């Protein structure tokens, strides 16, 4: 009743192969974009931007990146934190070396540098598979974090070993630094996220995406039907690292402002992003959004309830929060191993038939 | 030059000892992976939890004291008794077996036939939960663990090597105990899996779940058994690491030390876990000794992974792992 694909006729190939072929879907996404661009920037304040919206947007970019690698190409990676660190340090070096270039270009370049590093660490995936690969990507995680800690050139020889984002503007509006408004941060991240999501959506439904999925489903069979595993795996690592690098650059420059590599980009960050991808749904762009939203909102919600609502000491609340997050992840995997995206698919199925049972 | 050599061999020896400690953790991973195909990330946190429980029981702490105090506003701390080490260890084993049963009924039973990555993520969730649970139950402060293991530098070795090489090797007594314990543990586990009825059932399950079920082996019992054994191994690792560096959050990070050991030795091989541990332990100490000072030190965090990665490029299933056969 409420959701229907029927009656949506196409008269040209062009119309048939558009990004969102179903009219209802298209209307839904347009409505979401109108709200995101037209309403939220005018009502957003510092608390909502810093606690919810900006981290959600940034983690959604990272989750899309990791989902391409894990969900579409089937290569499990635990090195996300390390690759985000590459993005962060690349954007830092670029921002301090070329102060006059707009920050958007720096962020994209940082993504490119991360892509190159990702390809380098992705090469062993041609030989190593499954869990062995997952553990091998930890090599990237630990090595990169160590590198940024130990080589002073990366943090411009600052005494604290931290990197701090200098103030940069675009079209006269502050994007990084202390003077940035909540709306500017939000809009900057939102624009990049929109571009990334569109790009990911179109890549995954095109030739490249099909090659990735063929490799994921069975790499030997894919090779026999003519998919080159080298190019498929390397492009997956490159595209994924590109997005993850952008997310790392934004996390450092726009959101955190200052970062210490072991703390901001440690192994926990890798697991966090992987959780987002799994809880959201492997192999689904929508799932990346849903997973990021869920895991950004959950700690905020729990903290408000436990500390604000019950008035418990923060350390007990922190431990309970850890327990609840862990338990929820397990419950989620038991109830719906295919993630929030699958729940959404089931909901659409129900809406299609409602009020009839079949 | 000769000095350099003796220093290096001391570093190598210490590395071997540290490697044995890594193997202890890796052993738990291998046991569970072999028999259920689950890559149990929670093994490190299990060691932390076991050590916390042991200290808590020994010192007579009231479980959940912190939480109870927060809710009721009371001041509960301890029951006011001390439990002897042996009894405390036995009680902790009971707790770990209870935990194995709970994990099997609440988590594993419901995840049969899921993709390996889903099971892996579930164990990460489990690790988060156990970490929070251990802290809520016993408090997050750093505790000292003392079950009467010898501490300090072994003086016999020092004096003997002093007369032989003119330089006394510093070897920790605790490391020697750990080495002996792990050799005993590996022997016991090997004997158990080769010669006992349950051990045979365990190997059958590892070989083929369905075939094992069809000849009447209870999968659920085997899983509880395996997780109990892994819990016991975690307790041993927890005691060793806890006596060495105190019981605190960082104890759970030893899981990350065990992963490269597993990669190197192969996920499915018990001897692999031992040999892998020795190679990694010695390799990282020697690398830190020779190359570390040149590139800024603290290489131990990543060297093990890079070494394992290097081995994997030549042998994708690890040194002793079962050959990965792919059928189309």
Q: Respond yes or no on whether the N-terminal peptide bond of residue B124 is cis (omega within 30° of 0).
A: no
Q: Which two tokens mark A88?
A: 């962060």
Give the whole-angstrom CA distance, residue A244 versus residue A110. Answer: 10
Structure tokens at B45: 């946190």
* Residue A300 pLDDT grade (very low, low, confident, very high; cuts 50, 70, 90): confident
Instruction: Please report whether residue A4 resides in a domain.
Output: no
Q: Is residue A340 part of a domain?
A: no
What are the tens digits of pLDDT across the range A104-131? 889 999 999 999 999 998 888 887 877 7
- Confidence (pLDDT) at B166: 64
Measured between beta carbons, which residues in chain A are less than 8 angstroms from residue B295?
Answer: 150
Any idea where the domains of chain B sit in the sequence?
Answer: 2-314
Does A329 lie at the interface with B, CB-CB under 8 angstroms?
A: yes
Exposed / middle / buried, residue B293 (Cβ in 10 Å: 0-12, 13-18, 19+): exposed
A21 touches chain B (CB under 8 A): no
- Our CA-based measurement puts residue B201 at a distance from the nearest CA of chain A, in whole angstroms, of 25
Is the residue at A348 inside a domain? no
Q: Could you tell me if residue A318 is inside a domain?
A: no
Q: What is the DSSP string of A184-227?
A: HHHHHHHHHHHHHHHHHHHHHHSHHHHHHHHHHH-HHHHHHTT-
Is A65 domain-assigned? yes
Mean pLDDT of A184-200: 90
Range of the domain at A243: 44-266
Chain A nearest-CA distance from B313, in A, is 6
The verdict on residue A353 lying in a domain is no
Chain A residues near residue B267 by CB distance under 8 angstroms: 131-132
- Mean model confidence pLDDT for chain A: 85
CATH architecture type of domain B2-314 = Orthogonal Bundle (1.10)
Of B122, B132, B256, the CB nearest to A319: B132
CB atoms A128 and B316 under 8 Å: yes
Q: Give every CB contact of residue A68 below 8 A, 6+ residues apart in sequence.
A: A200, A203, A204, A212, A236, A239, A240, A243
Question: Do the Cβ atoms of B107 and A221 come within 8 Å?
Answer: no
Give pLDDT, residue A245: 93
Low-confidence ranges of chain B (pLDDT < 70): 1-2, 70-71, 73-80, 148-149, 151-155, 157-159, 161-169, 296-297, 328
- pTM of the model as a whole: 0.86
What tokens were used for B94? Answer: 């009971």
Q: Does a structural domain hold residue A160?
A: yes
Residue A227 lies in a domain: yes
* Tens of pLDDT, residues B199-217: 888 888 877 778 888 998 8
CA distance A150 to chain B (A): 6
Express as a percent the part of chain A with pLDDT over 90: 24
A220 interaction partners in chain B (CB closer than 8 Å):
326, 328
Write out chain A residues lying below 8 Å of B298, CB-based: 146, 149-150
How far is Cα B91 from Cα A65, in angstroms, rounded to an integer? 47
- Count how many domains chain A has: 1
Q: How does strand A163-164 pair with strand A168-170?
A: unpaired
Instruction: Give dist(CA A215, CA A230) in Å, integer.
Output: 10
């Amino acid at each position: 009743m409420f959701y229907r694909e029927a009656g949506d006729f196409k008269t040209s190939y062009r119309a048939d192969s558009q990004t969102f072929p179903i009219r209802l879907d298209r209307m839904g996404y347009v409505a979401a974009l109108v709200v995101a661009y037209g309403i939220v920037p005018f009502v957003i304040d510092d608390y909502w931007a810093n606690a919810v919206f900006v981290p959600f947007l940034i983690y959604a970019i990272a989750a899309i990146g990791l989902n391409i690698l894990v969900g579409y190409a089937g290569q499990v990676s635990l090195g996300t934190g390390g690759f985000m660190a590459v993005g962060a340090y690349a954007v830092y070096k670029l921002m301090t070396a070329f102060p006059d270039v707009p920050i958007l270009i720096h962020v994209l370049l940082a993504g490119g540098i991360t892509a190159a590093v990702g390809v380098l660490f992705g090469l062993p995936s041609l030989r190593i598979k499954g869990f062995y690969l997952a553990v091998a990507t930890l090599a990237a995680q630990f090595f990169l974090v160590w590198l940024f800690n130990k080589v002073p050139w990366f943090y411009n020889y600052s005494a604290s070993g931290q990197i701090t984002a200098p103030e940069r503007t675009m079209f006269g509006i502050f994007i990084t630094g202390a003077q940035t408004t909540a709306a500017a941060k939000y809009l900057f991240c939102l624009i990049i996220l929109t571009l990334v999501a569109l790009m990911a959506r179109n890549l995954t439904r095109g030739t490249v995406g099909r090659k990735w999925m063929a490799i994921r489903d069975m790499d030997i069979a894919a090779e026999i039907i003519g998919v080159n595993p080298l190019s498929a795996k390397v492009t997956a690592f490159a595209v994924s690292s590109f997005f993850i690098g952008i997310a790392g650059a934004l996390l450092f420059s726009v959101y955190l402002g200052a970062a210490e590599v072991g703390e901001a980009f440690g192994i926990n960050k890798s697991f966090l992003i992987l959780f987002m991808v799994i809880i959201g749904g492997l192999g689904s762009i929508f799932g990346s959004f849903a997973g990021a939203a869920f895991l950004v909102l959950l700690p905020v919600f729990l903290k408000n309830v436990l500390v604000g609502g019950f008035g418990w000491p923060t350390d007990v609340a922190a431990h309970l929060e850890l327990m609840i997050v862990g338990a929820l992840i397990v419950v989620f995997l038991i109830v719906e191993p295919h993630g929030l995206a699958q729940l959404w698919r089931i909901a659409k199925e129900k809406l299609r038939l409602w009020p009839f049972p079949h | 030059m000769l000095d350099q050599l003796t220093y290096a061999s001391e570093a190598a020896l210490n590395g071997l000892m540290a490697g044995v400690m890594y193997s202890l953790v890796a052993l738990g991973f291998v046991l569970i992976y072999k028999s259920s195909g689950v890559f149990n990330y929670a093994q490190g946190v299990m060691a932390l939890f076991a050590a916390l429980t042991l200290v808590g029981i020994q010192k007579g702490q009231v479980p959940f004291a912190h939480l109870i105090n927060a809710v009721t506003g009371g001041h509960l701390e301890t029951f006011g008794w001390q439990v002897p080490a042996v009894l405390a260890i036995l009680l902790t084993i009971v707790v770990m077996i209870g935990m194995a049963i709970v994990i099997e009924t609440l988590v594993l039973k419901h995840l049969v036939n899921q993709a390996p990555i889903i099971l892996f993520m579930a164990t990460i969730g489990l690790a988060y939960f156990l970490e929070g649970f251990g802290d809520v139950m016993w408090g997050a402060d750093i505790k000292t663990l003392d079950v009467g293991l010898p501490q300090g530098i072994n003086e016999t070795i020092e004096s003997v090597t002093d007369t032989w090489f003119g330089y006394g090797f510093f070897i920790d007594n605790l490391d020697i105990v750990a080495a002996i314990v792990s050799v005993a543990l590996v022997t016991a586990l090997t004997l158990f899996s080769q010669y006992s009825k349950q051990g045979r059932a365990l190997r059958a399950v590892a070989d083929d779940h369905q075939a094992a079920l069809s000849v009447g082996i209870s999968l659920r019992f085997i899983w509880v058994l395996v997780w109990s054994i892994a819990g016991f191994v975690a307790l041993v690792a927890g005691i060793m690491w806890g006596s060495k560096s105190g019981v605190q959050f960082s104890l759970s990070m030893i899981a990350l030390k065990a992963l490269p050991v597993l990669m190197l030795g192969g996920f499915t091989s018990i001897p692999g876990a031992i040999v892998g541990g020795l190679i990694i332990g010695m390799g990282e100490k020697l690398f830190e000794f020779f190359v570390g000072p040149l590139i800024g030190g603290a290489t131990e965090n990543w060297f093990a992974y890079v070494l394992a990665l290097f081995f994997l490029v030549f042998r994708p299933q690890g040194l002793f792992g079962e050959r990965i056969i792919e059928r189309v």
